[in-house]
Structure 1
Amino acid sequence: MAAPEREAVSRPGALHVIERGALVLAMACILAICALVVTGVITRAIFNWSLPDMEIVVRNLMIGAVILPLAYVSAQKAHIAVDVFVALLPDRYLPAISLLGSVVGFLVLVPITYGGWLAFHAAWTEGAYSFGTYNLPEWPVRLTFWLGYLIFAIRLAVMVAGDFLSVLRGGAMDGASRNEG
């Protein structure tokens, strides 16, 4: 028996636009990381000097590259999943299994999102900065982390509602919604 195919979640308009915007920002972070690393390698090899605070900037950009696309990936149901046991279940159980996964994911995200808010708020109010040549403020990366997880938590809340409605309707995934391989 094949594992269930994950169908993209129907997206509310505003949330979809926000998720796409976060995805574009994540792509920009990846491009900036590539540019910084290449520039750093070239300047070190040719001129024997390095870009100041490059490690701090790259680390901060990595947060955006990893965290910002989480909601979009979840909306597409393209996240990594292990379907070893779920594949053995009849189709009628799949909506309940999907609901369980969405609820657990949401419950895990709530404290992470709250912790992200606390970290951002502390960095903002205390004026925290990274130790380096330019003493870069910490609040932008903390804000990025918090917003990324907030969008992700909202997406999972929407998925919980959709999965709950699917369970209430007694809807089972039909054979066409299953992976064939």
Structure 2
Amino acid sequence: MPEEEAAKTAVRQGPFDRALAKAVQGGGLISAAATFILMAHVIVDVAMRYLANAPLPATIEIVSYWWMVLITFPALALTQRRREHVDLSLLTELMPARHRRVSIIMARVATLAVVLIIGWCGWLYALEQMARGEIAMGSVTIPIWPTRFAVPLGMLLFALQLTANLIEDLRGRTAGPGR
């Protein structure tokens, strides 16, 4: 398995890719930390609920608006870098190599377009919610506007990684998704 990962990343060596790799790894670390914190938060909430009949306030809001967002969006670029997104290769495997390559490049461009649109809309929405001071009201008032920026930032990292993969594909250095 380490040999496969080394082969996947062997073509990436420039300063842009090294910086991108660090940013993508940072996104993965944010997601991993959020996962750990979410688990600890829920465990403490459940323990407090059953042992002291005093659950942590606003657990659902914090889990939903903070931890889930921070788990999902920063990790998308890392999944793309590892080429581990879900891939429906049944049809492309039956294609001749040239058609397969064109299909993969077209899919990568379409994905990049969608990611950029989501990122731009997410940026506009985050700015709007920041201006409003968006909160979640429950037993405790929780500010949630800061996590709205995880969407456009995660999409930006994802778009940069997709662009790097697209450049590799155009240069013929990779065989496609999952390879």
Aligned counterparts, 1:140-159, within 5 A? 140-159=146-165
Q: 1:67 aligns with which of 64, 70, 73?
A: 73
TM-score by length of 2: 0.84
Q: Which amino acid aligns with 2:34?
A: C
Query: Residue 95 of structure 1: CA displacement?
Result: 2.4
Contact 1:99/1:164 (<8 A) preserved: yes
Query: Residue 101 of structure 1: CA displacement?
Result: 1.6
- After superposing the two structures, state which structure 1 stretch, 10-19 or 74-83, moved more: 10-19
Separation in 2, partners of 1:114, 1:64: 18
Query: Residue 18 of structure 1: CA displacement?
Result: 0.5
Higher fraction of helix: 2
- The sequence identity of aligned pairs, in percent, is 23
Aligned counterparts, 1:7-156, within 5 A? 7-8=8-9, 10=12, 12-59=17-64, 60-156=66-162
Query: Residue 165 of structure 1: CA displacement?
Result: 2.9
Contact 1:91/1:172 (<8 A) preserved: no
Contact 2:73/2:155 (<8 A) preserved: yes
Bigger relative contact order (CA 8 A; separation at least 6): 1
Deviation per residue, 1:107-126 (Å, 9 max, x gap): 11121101110111012112
Which runs of 5 or more residues in structure 1 are unaligned?
A: 1-5
Query: Residue 7 of structure 1: CA displacement?
Result: 3.9
Separation in 2, partners of 1:172, 1:75: 12
Number of residue pairs matched by the alignment? 166
Secondary structure at the counterpart of residue 136 of structure 1: strand
